[in-house]
Amino acid sequence: MTDNKQKTILSTRDVHLWYGKKEALHGIDLDFPEKGITALIGPSGSGKSTYLRAINRMHDLEDNVTVTGSFNFKGTDIYAPTTDTVDLRKRIGMVFQQPNPFPFSTYENVAFGLRLAGVKDKAVLDEAVEKALKQASVWDEVKDNLHKSALGLSGGQQQRVSVARVLATSPELLLLDEPTSALDPVSSHNIEETLLNLRDDYAMIIVTHSMSQASRISDRTAFFLSGDLVEVDDTKHIFLNPEKQETQDYVSGRFG
């Protein structure tokens, strides 16, 4: 359980993951509250992305990956054979490091998931597209060019459109893997503001190699090292007064 009064949206227990014979996660126990931002920090290669991708079964798409342990998402057993991954990835949306718009208009990028789900009514689509772009704080910048290619937008705008695309299908949890590391400082700041605006309404898990970003935007921080979870706590606690020496060494910049 998390130590605040929020309900838990996702509870993971004893998560192990192997790439072939190489064990990349060594038994992770981690819970996430219903709302707010949890940052996963740790040096490169510590297993942050591996763990994040396990949450919405992205490793299903790779050969030779073995995942064990339990993933309880609001009562859904994520790895149950009966769990439909298309539906799962609608409930648990993902934003990647590189903005990855499809080569069509901004409007169609955001409407994509809804069209897949069979929504055809233009008024419904228009409203959903506008709402998602507003939530992603990019509406004002794209509203006059909704039907132009999203590839013509700046990287930062594309990344906010990626966030809107995920939000359009009403996810319950958002996974973000270093969403600002390919962006310039101003665009990174815009994404951070967007995430801060969403944190009262969504549960988000963000992998970041930037400790300053984690301390600026996250409510909780989990520190990974060599495939283990060293420590998880309120972000302030992790940065100011961590329990473990390894955490102290990492957050004070002694390695990583």
Binding site for ligand ADP (CB under 6 A): 19, 24, 42, 44-50, 62
Least distance from C-beta 107 to ligand ADP, angstroms? 33
**Interaction partner, residue 180 (Mg ion, ligand ADP, none; CB < 5-8 Å by kind):** none
Q: Among residues 38, 46, 49, 105, which is the contact residue for Mg ion, using CB under 5 A?
A: 49
Residue 227 burial class via C-beta count within 10 angstroms: exposed 0-12, middle 13-18, buried 19 and up: buried
Please choose which of ligand ADP, Mg ion, none residue 45 contacts, taking the beta carbon within 5 to 8 angstroms, the exact cut-off set by kind. ligand ADP
Closest-CB residue for Mg ion?
A: 49
> Which candidate, 67, 70, 61, places its Cα nearest to that of 24?
67
Stretch that binds Mg ion, among 42-50, 165-173, 191-199, 248-256 (CB under 5 A): 42-50
Sheet with 173-177, side-by-side order of all strands: 92-95, 173-177, 203-207, 36-41, 220-225, 228-234
- Residue closer to Mg ion by CB (options 49, 194) is 49
Q: How far is the CB of 52 from Mg ion (least distance, A)?
A: 8
How far is Cα 236 from Cα 13, in angstroms, rounded to an integer?
25
AA letter at 241 = N
Please list, residue by residue across 196-224, b when 16 or more beta carbons sit within 10 angstroms of its beta carbon and e when fewer do. eebeeebbbbbbbbbbebbbebbbbbbbb
Supply the minimum distance, in Å, between the C-beta of residue 159 and Mg ion: 16
Task: From the list Mg ion, ligand ADP, none, pick the one residue 47 interacts with, judged by a Cβ distance below 5 to 8 Å according to partner type.
Answer: ligand ADP
